Amino acid sequence: MKTATFGCAWCGLTVTTFTADGTRRNHCPSCLQSRHVHDQAEGGPSDCHGRMTPIAIAVLRTGDWMVVHRCVRCDELTSNPVCPDDNQLILMRTAVRPLAQPPFPLEAFGAL
């Protein structure tokens, strides 16, 4: 049986398309980057093959974590399940980024 792989366009890692537990993956477990190759929105932009950058982590009501990607070429947003072997440091950095870089000066809290 041939193992399907893809090369990460960002870090160069050769990645298997299935995790050890059989979950299908579409992003690099090392840097979480992906490639925009499957447009599921009817009438949406065609597959532009742009790099999908992880911009956020979303947590579903079920407790499952999702990586939110934005295409650097067409700005489309997608979400994909976190895989068991994804880089935990990058996942946490992405999850706390809004707290570390708020859209307002933190000094504003001192005046409250």
76-112 pLDDT, tens digit each: 999 999 999 999 999 999 999 988 888 888 787 776 6
Between 1 and 98, residue with greater pLDDT: 98
The whole-number pLDDT of residue 79 equals 93
Q: Summarize pLDDT for 46-76 with one digit per residue, the tens.
A: 568 889 999 999 999 999 999 999 999 999 9
The whole-number pLDDT of residue 86 equals 95
Radius of gyration of the chain from its Cα atoms, rounded to whole angstroms: 16
- Kindly give, in sequence order, each residue whose CB lies less than 8 Å from that of residue 3, ignoring residues fewer than 6 positions away: 16, 18
The whole-number pLDDT of residue 102 equals 83
**CB-based contact 77:68 (threshold 8 Å):** yes
